[in-house]
A and B are shown apart, each in its own frame.
Chain A
Amino acid sequence: MSATPNGPCQPKTYSRRSILKYAAMGTSALAGGPLLAACGHGAVSAAKSGGSSRSTGPIKVGVISPLTGAWTVYGKGQLDGFLVAVDEINSSGGTLGRKWQPIVLDSQTNPSIIPSLVQKLVVEDEVDFLAGTFSSASRNAAAPAATAHDKVLLYPTFYEGQEQKYYPGVCNPNIFMFGPTPTQQAWPFLPYIMHNHGNNFFLLGSDYVWPQVTNSVVKQKLTELGGKVVDEVYVPLDQTEFSSVTSRVLASGADVLFLTLTGVNTVDFRKQFYAQGGSKKLTIWTVDDEEAATSGVGPAASAGTYVSFDYFWFLKNSNNASFRRVVRAKYPTVLMDTVGVAMYNAAHMAHLAMTKTGEVSTTGLRHGLAGLTFNGAPQGYPVTMRAIDNQLVVPSYLVRTRPNWTGPDNMFELVQENGPVQPVTAACSSLPLN
């Protein structure tokens, strides 16, 4: 439920009665004050309305990325992907004649500070819409404030899919998802992996919601296809020693180790698993280790591992070729990955949406994005924003890590390719969202 914008001078969320009360309490103090006077002075006299009131000047976009802390490595790619698109949009004249002005904030990999960051962007900087936040936790933390001020949030990360119980972080008409869900990222390749490497899966993930939900989704499909989960283990995000887990994996008799470990977890585990000789014993398939994480694992320990995503840096198509050129020219060292590309798509699709509806506003974005197809995606296929659940339809690739790779250019080789993959419809209570 989003707040409906009232008149420009009308207080939005609190009762008239409470204002009158404070007016009465503070009469003397406010003799010369602007209480209940014209708009725009005190918050008591006028709450800022959610709908943007500016129609000239730059289009302001609030971007929140983890630029310090544990997930900095993903945050840089995320931010730079967005900024590349903003440059492209601005150099071709902006949107509806207005240039974009990104306002960037660092989430410090700490969801608790996100609500105040969103409030700063929305209320003080008066941004027109928001993009970013990396983890589901930070998206969920951003959602209440974004919803209260009726702002759109473009969310880029591969994530667990939407379930009503996490509203307003998901199942929210204002939040659009540009990253793949497990039904797009993992389901298409289960038959290939099972056919070539065996039916017994060991599911290993970091201990939080994305691995847990991804594993339950994968387990469901796996059982349907006649496979079996032999064990399922979750490790705390700050665990660094994995020998007990390694032993459990090796003793389990699994054919395939399906990984949803993230960040530091995945690097520590895979280095140690390799050192203990585990990589030779079974097949590893990860749905987390994009270019950044795999480069942390290193060529020796990562060789032969399967990875599946909607985008890889090495993909050969004309969109990606020009995308790679621009990125390298502007950010020579950044590791661009699926999340950065999702931000790139998000910016371009927001531009198209506003151009289509002729409106720089929450309604303009929502109506414009619903059902919109973008042909310039570096993924190599057109991508489409579904109106029913704000979920992007993306292609899906299964790749294998090459031995002795030296960088993201030659890190992976393509194994299987699926054109646009429709995800399972989100489990929201009222559909369509838009």
Chain B
Amino acid sequence: MSVRIIRSGAALNRRWGQRAAPYLRTAGASVPFIVLFAIPFYLNGYAVSVLPQFMLEAVMGMSLALMWGQLGLLSFAQATFFMEGAYASGLFLKHASGPYSSYLGILIATAVGAASALLIGAFFFSGKVRDAYFVIATLAVPVLGSEIANDSTSVTGGFGGFTAPAVVFRVPGVGSFSMTSLVSGYFISLLVSLLCFAFLQVLKRVRFGRILVAIREDEDRTGALGYRTAVYKTLAFTASGGIAGLAGSFYLAAAGNIGPSLGDVTSATLVVIWVAVSGRRSFVRSFVGGVVFAWVSNYLNGLIPEYWSLVLALALVVIVVGEHSNLRSRLPLYSREGAGQRQVQPRAEGPGPAKHGGEESILVQEEQP
């Protein structure tokens, strides 16, 4: 039985010409990381000082891609896990000392992010909360998360924000690397991004990842095959929360100061936007999308500070509409993955949700194996 699922997950490999695709794609995926590695050697300080923040936010974007792209469930909670991770490691480091406390801080941040996701996921998934209902349920997370962080002034510093303690990683025999220093902070962030990417990529390839895809395509059938889909969904959510928390702990050190706005609805929505625009099915595209989005916003902001969000909003409309009319599949960059996904089944009916009844809809995706 499991063989069938694996087959359906690997449906892309069916034709011979596509067999090499995964390897090509892996090679292609490494390009952004090679570029990011080279940047400090060629560009001046600005890129090096802001890219760590952008990369770590983009890692949070990848954690959303795991939920949304692989499992088909949109989550507005990732930014809040990210914020929790930042607070958790920051609070720990403020009170802890010792040569390796920075490492422990990361572990704690990861654990806090994962634990919150586990609690929330177990609560909702065990109750068969699905699709659009899950999306709305996760909307409560940034509302409450930022509210509580804001209210607990004595712990988190509240609205005024929380200033990062020093984060120094000691590697015996090599030296110490501080997050606050320009170059080592940059390469640490890059390394973290790469490791998270590799982890997610492995997760996608192993059986677990294929079961997630099977759940996305048809949860009821996957369940009928004997898989406890609620458990898989909860585990995926936990992993995504852990990654977001981990990225958050490094982000605190890279940004220097964080506050409740890091995990509020605005931040949560922005992640969703860039992951959607760049392509939720691909981790590397979510990652690159996050970095590019932050960079472009920052640039436009300087150019037209009063109108840039209007410009971005209109651009988003154009992108969504353009994607709809298959514009992207005609561009060479997207043709391999994009066209394969999008030209498969034209919708049978005219307007109207493809599936109907009590619990439909957010699960409807364009890719059909």
Contact = CB atoms under 8 A, between A and B. Distances in A.
Q: Which of B150, B158, B182, B186 has the most CB of A within 10 A?
A: B182
B182 A110 contact: no
B20 to A, nearest CB: 27
B159 A68 contact: no
A140 interface: yes
Contact of A40 (B44, B47, B157, B305): B44
B309 A14 contact: no
Contact of A47 (B45, B143, B159, B177): B45
B365 interface: no
Q: How would you classify the secondary structure of chain B's contact residues: helix, strand, loop or mixed? A: helix
- Sort chain B's interface into a size bin: 35 or more
Given A43-B47, A116-B54, A140-B257, A212 B153 contact: yes
B159 A209 contact: yes
Nearest to B53: A116
Interface stretch (B34-42, B205-213, B340-348, B350-358): B34-42
Contact of B257 (A42, A65, A115): A115
B267 A33 contact: no
B318 to A, nearest CB: 20
A421 interface: no
B309 A123 contact: no
A46 B257 CA distance: 25
B183 A207 contact: no
Contact of B308 (A11, A106, A234): A106
A386 interface: no
Interface stretch (A163-171, A343-351, A367-375): A163-171
Interface string A1-28: 0000000000111110111011000100
Contacts of A111: 161, 257, 259, 261
A136 B267 contact: no
Contacts of A300: none
Given A13-B181, A15-B176, A68-B309, A208 B46 contact: no
A148 B256 contact: yes
Contacts of A236: 147, 150-151
Contacts of A34: 41-42
A43 B54 contact: no
A357 interface: no
B172 interface: no
B163 interface: yes
A42 B163 contact: no
B181 A15 contact: yes
A108 interface: yes
A42 B309 contact: no
A141 interface: yes
A141 B153 CA distance: 16
A404 interface: no
Interface string B300-320: 011001101100000000000
A137 B160 contact: yes
Contacts of A105: 301-302, 305
Interface in A54-72: 65, 67-69
A105 B266 CA distance: 18
Contact of B48 (A35, A43, A67): A43
B250 to A, nearest CB: 14
Nearest to B267: A112
A117 interface: yes
Contacts of B54: 116
Given A43-B49, A143-B256, A168-B163, 20 more contacts: A22-B40, A43-B40, A43-B43, A43-B48, A43-B183, A44-B41, A47-B183, A106-B305, A115-B255, A115-B257, A123-B49, A124-B46, A136-B159, A169-B160, A169-B161, A208-B158, A209-B153, A209-B158, A209-B159, A210-B159
Interface of A: 11-15, 17-19, 21-22, 26, 29-30, 33-35, 40-48, 65, 67-69, 103-106, 108, 110-113, 115-117, 119-120, 123-125, 135-137, 140-141, 143-145, 148, 166-169, 207-210, 212, 234, 236-238
6 contacts: A14-B183, A43-B44, A67-B306, A112-B255, A137-B259, A236-B151
